[in-house]
Chain A
Amino acid sequence: MAREAPIGFDAATDAARERARLAASLAAVAAGDRAALAEVYRRSAAKLFGVCLRILGERSEAEDVVQEVYLTVWQRAAGFDPRRASPMTWLITIARNRAIDRLRARRARPPAAPVEAAELVDDPAASALERLEDEDERRRLEHCLGTLDEEPRRAIRTAFFAGATYEELAAARGVPLGTMKSWIRRGLLKLRACLES
């Protein structure tokens, strides 16, 4: 699998450079530079649109949220601190939060469908840079998720990708709410312990 390819020194520096460029663009956005926002958009919009689409499942809503996200970036870029977060993580966090808020604002919503393995498109070429950038963290997280029991692992992943509530997850899996809460909470505690070990 392409995932297993060793990460060369050059690739790692490319990733660091990409990250630095994005951080510099965000700093320029904070100073009111419109061209810099266009640059941030160019470098990140496809990923953010993918994330919003995954949560909302509907193109026009995902487009609206992406629009809101970049206007939020325009307003809040001064709040980005490169010492505290990677620029991509910061952007994806804004996108996920806005998409989840949009999802919650829908009145009646059918329960979230379980995430099928096939939906989590494994496309190394599509986000090669990001994979390289976070390769160590990604492997670590993958390893630690792998130490969880199947139900908690699946529930945590579904929550993350679909933005589903405890209630929706419980209904979709056909288990009592308390069971779902305890799966996820225990899974999260175990995950943290593994990541910090």
Chain B
Amino acid sequence: MSATGDPLGSDEGGQDLLAAEYVIGVLDAAGRRRAEARLATDEAFARAVEAWEARLAPLAGEVAPRVPPAAVWDRIAAALPPAAVAPRARAAKAGLWHSLPFWRTAGLGGAVVAAAALVALAVILPPPGAPPGLTATLMPKSGKAALMVTVDRGKDMLMVMPAALDIPPSRVPELWLMPAGGAPRSLGVVSAEKPMMMKVPGELMGAIAPRVMLALSLEPPGGSPTGLPTGPVVAEGMVTQL
């Protein structure tokens, strides 16, 4: 009850206020990351955030709906795992796509299983009218992690879908293009948790071609300070034509 002094103190009122600030969106990037870290570990804080989301939800009713262009759904559909794996996914409790055992099997099971995964992913179709799509599935050496990258050459974008990346604290995953006979080139730091879109400069985009390798290394926050991988490569995969 006592909201005296700094309302962001550790008392219950401060926690609730921080939850509200996170939900209305006034925190800066660092503040949001701190709040999200707390969300993941602090059940009471997570409930406070949920309560504020529900309280303020009616405000979103004031925003006029706008129909997105059809290409948006086409790109979403193209980035999903293919329908071919859906029946197995349905059988799996949490869904095949983010099932760690599946990726473990795919990673550890050797060429046959890995190839099956690649073949399954390779039936993803590019959006109509777009140049043929490219994809790379980065398979881990340890069998513990995997990442799928879909290349949208029309938009010079990469869609990066993490599956079960296990990134140590204070390290970030950075994606690299590994040209045959050339130095690795950074494509940028990726998220271990969320699917994301990455803009790629045109000249780098031109180098992303079938049979070129992509790799994922562990780097200090902000990415490699040298422009070359400095940490261990935890996953790699070959770009495949769809």
Interface of A toward B, CB cutoff 8 Å? 30-34, 37-38, 41, 45-47, 49-51, 53-55, 62-64, 66-68, 70-72, 74-75, 77-78, 84-86, 88-89, 92-93, 96, 98, 100-101, 104-105, 120-123, 126-127, 130-131, 134, 137-138, 141-142, 156-157, 159-161, 163-167, 169, 184-185, 188-189, 191-192, 195
Candidate in A33, A71, A137, A189 with the most chain B CB atoms within 10 angstroms? A71
* Interface residue B17 (Cβ < 8 Å from any Cβ of A): yes
Structural contact, B54 and A89, CB atoms closer than 8 A: yes
Q: Mark B38-59, 1 if CB is under 8 A from A, else 0.
A: 0000000000001001111111
B161 touching A71, Cβ below 8 Å: yes
| In the complex, the 3 A-B pairs of residues with the closest C-beta atoms, listed nearest first | A32-B89, A46-B65, A138-B58
Chain B residues within an 8 Å CB radius of A34: 77, 80, 83, 86
Do residues B79 and A53 form an inter-chain contact, with CB atoms below 8 A?
A: no
Chain A residues whose C-beta falls within 8 Å of the C-beta of B54 in the assembled complex:
85-86, 89, 137
Separation of A51 and B65 alpha carbons in the complex (Å): 8
A-B contact pairs, 13 of them (CB 8 A): A32-B86, A33-B90, A38-B73, A49-B66, A50-B65, A93-B53, A100-B25, A104-B32, A122-B62, A137-B54, A138-B61, A161-B62, A184-B21
Contact across chains for A45 and B68 when beta carbons are under 8 A apart: yes
Residues of the B chain whose Cβ atoms lie less than 8 Å from the Cβ of A188: 17, 20-21, 24
Separation of A180 and B110 alpha carbons in the complex (Å): 59
Q: Which residue of B lies closest to A138 (CB)?
A: B58
Contact status A31-B89, CB under 8 Å: yes
Chain A proximity of B61: nearest CB distance (Å): 5
Q: How far is the CA of A101 from the CA of B85 in the complex (A)?
A: 32
Q: Is the CB of B73 within 8 A of A41?
A: yes
Whether B50 pairs with A85 at a CB distance below 8 angstroms is: yes
CB pair B68–A63 under 8 Å, yes or no, is yes
Hey, which chain B residues are within 8 Å of A63, CB to CB? Answer: 68-69, 71-72
B37: Cβ under 8 A from any A Cβ: no
Among B26, B28, B72, point to the contact of A45 (Cβ < 8 A): B72
- Whether A75 pairs with B86 at a CB distance below 8 angstroms is no
Q: Which residues of chain A are within 8 angstroms of B234 by Cβ–Cβ distance?
A: none
CB-CB under 8 A for A31 and B79, given A45-B68, A63-B72, A130-B61:
no
Q: Closest A-chain residue to B76, C-beta based?
A: A70
Q: Tell me whether A123 and B64 are in contact (CB under 8 A).
A: yes
- Whether B235 sits at the interface, judged by CB under 8 Å, is no
